[in-house]
Amino acid sequence: MNQPVTKVLVIGYVWPEPRSSAAGGHMMQILESFLTQGWDITFSSPATIGEHKADLPALGIAERTIELNNSSFDDFIRELAPDIVLFDRFMMEEQFGWRVEQCCPDALRVLETSDLQSLRDARHQRLKEQVKAQPDSDDFSALFAPALEDEFQRMADTDLAKREIAAIYRCDISLMISDVEIRLLTEQFKVPAALLHWCPLMLQPPTDAFAPFDDRAHFLSIGNFRHAPNWDAVLWMKHRLWPLIRQQLPGAQLHIYGAYTPPKATALHNQAQGFHVMNWAEDALQVMTAARICLAPLRFGAGIKGKLVDAMLCGTPSVTTPIGAEAMGDDQPWPGVIAQDAPALAAAAVALYQDRERWTRAQEHGRQLLARRYDQNIHGAALVECLERCRRNLAAHRRDNFTGGMLRHHAHKSTQYMSQWIEAKNRTL
């Protein structure tokens, strides 16, 4: 007798744009893992559709626009009757979690965290404090290697951390892209390990030969301009890092690509300085393959960095910071250089750009790292197995997560009443 097809409902914070952000790419990798199982997927979102949205119907994924604070969602989800509901970012769990529990109490609730936004925000605040106190300093080593206990102290009293970690508790499983963030949650916030599943970027490791050193030219930086760490990196490159590189390589060219390029970024374009703001790349892997070095001087952030995985996929060595490389590698050599201040980053970039032998070794390190850490076949199967195991033992799993049940009992009531009040208010306008 055939088993019924598993139905999955995804509630997206945005519609996935895999060519614009690592978060969009990761969502598509998750969806592909589900499609491989023959699961029936519906993707819904209250967001407006962006210009780079993935063609989900072409993959056999149904689409549905939903509204915030509107009981029409209740009728929709009751009719769909999903077995698994995946919330894309904790804000969607806050908005729709109580409705999912009320209408489909037996559905497995999964949170795709993307990265810990409360960690990213705490690091951003710490950077602002240092820049204000030491505006001329380019040494950020104190920011790049804090102990997890220090990260906890920074985050613990913030509203954002309380909201985000409460959502993790309320869900049955949370997908974590960074194993460093899993350690932070389990060791410092005391989140049970059973509520977390490590799900990094999932890729097919490259097998073809990479474009060699002599066929490459220029430096490349890439990233969605709406993502604050990327914009900060562009400004740091413009005012500090790139002038140091040009002093040593007067003819060097830096090409900066990113989705949703704002006028403030376009204004930084300066051909005489070799600083080229190129807007959005139709094919990010193509421009990455043409570059000799990927620059990713990130001073804050969280999760793992899609641009650095793309660099490895294209055989492009990277120069980045400890924040950029966090949770990306292991105890084997990094496919490029990691440095902590502008002079060191510039020196590393220039040396790697000119040293064919060292560059070629870094290229191969990237191939090896992808195979060890980001294999789609391994992580896709592990994700599906985790969700199916949790579904089989859902009652016991929820009973063991008493804190989550307690939070749902109290938080969902307040969220429910607020949402119903807003809906009633909107009907009277």
CA dihedral defined by 128, 133, 139, 144, rounded to 10 degrees? -40
**Which pLDDT belongs to residue 118?**
97
Average pLDDT over residues 388-411: 91
**Which pLDDT belongs to residue 2?**
67
Amino acid 128 reads: K
Average pLDDT over residues 225-234: 94
**Which pLDDT belongs to residue 197?**
98
Average pLDDT over residues 16-35: 91
| Cα maximum dimension of the chain | 72
Position 412 confidence tier, pLDDT thresholds 50, 70, 90:
low
d(CA 238, CA 297): 11
Average pLDDT over residues 161-170: 96
Position of tokens 């804050």? 300
Average pLDDT over residues 37-51: 94
**Which pLDDT belongs to residue 140?**
85
Please check whether residue 65 is in contact with residue 47, taking contact to mean a CB–CB distance below 8 angstroms. Answer: no
Q: Is 274 left (phi over 0), alpha (psi -120 to 50) or beta?
A: left
Please check whether residue 317 is in contact with residue 340, taking contact to mean a CB–CB distance below 8 angstroms. Answer: no
Domains observed in the chain: 7-118+147-202+376-428 (3.40.50.2000), 213-373 (3.40.50.2000)
d(CA 399, CA 402): 6
Q: What is the pTM of this model?
A: 0.93
Please check whether residue 41 is in contact with residue 61, taking contact to mean a CB–CB distance below 8 angstroms. Answer: yes
Comparing 51 with 237, the larger pLDDT belongs to: 237
Average pLDDT over residues 13-37: 92
Please check whether residue 170 is in contact with residue 407, taking contact to mean a CB–CB distance below 8 angstroms. Answer: yes
Residue 410: is its pLDDT beyond 90?
A: no
* CA 71 to chain CA mean position, Å: 31
**Which pLDDT belongs to residue 236?**
96
Position 52 confidence tier, pLDDT thresholds 50, 70, 90:
confident
Which residue in 74, 35, 84, 75 sits closest to 57, CA to CA?
35
**Which pLDDT belongs to residue 413?**
58
SS (H, E, C) the chain: CCCCCCEEEEECCCCCCCCCCHHHHHHHHHHHHHHHCCCEEEEEECCCCCCCCCCCHHHCCEEEECCCCCCHHHHHHHHHCCCEEEEECHHHHHHHHHHHHHHCCCCEEEEECCCCHHHHHHHHHHHHHHHHHCCCCCECHHHHCCCHHHHHHHHCCCHHHHHHHHHHHHCCEEEECCHHHHHHHHHHCCCCHHHEEECCCCECCCCCCCCCHHHCCCEEEECCCCCHHHHHHHHHHHHHHHHHHHHHCCCCCEEEECCCCCHHHHCCCEHHHCEEEEECCCCHHHHHHHCCEEEECCCCCCCCCHHHHHHHHCCCCEEECHHHHCCCCCCCCCCEEECCEHHHHHHHHHHHHHCHHHHHHHHHHHHHHHHHHCEHHHHHHHHHHHHHHHHHCHHHHHHHCHHHHHHHHHHHHHHHHHHHHHHHHHHHC
d(CA 398, CA 171): 9
**Which pLDDT belongs to residue 21?**
82
| Residues 334-376: tens digit of each pLDDT | 999 999 999 999 999 999 999 999 999 999 999 999 999 999 9
d(CA 240, CA 246): 11
Would you give the end-to-end CA distance of the chain in angstroms? 53
Please check whether residue 110 is in contact with residue 174, taking contact to mean a CB–CB distance below 8 angstroms. Answer: yes
Residue 399: is its pLDDT beyond 80?
A: yes
Average pLDDT over residues 241-252: 96
d(CA 263, CA 391): 48
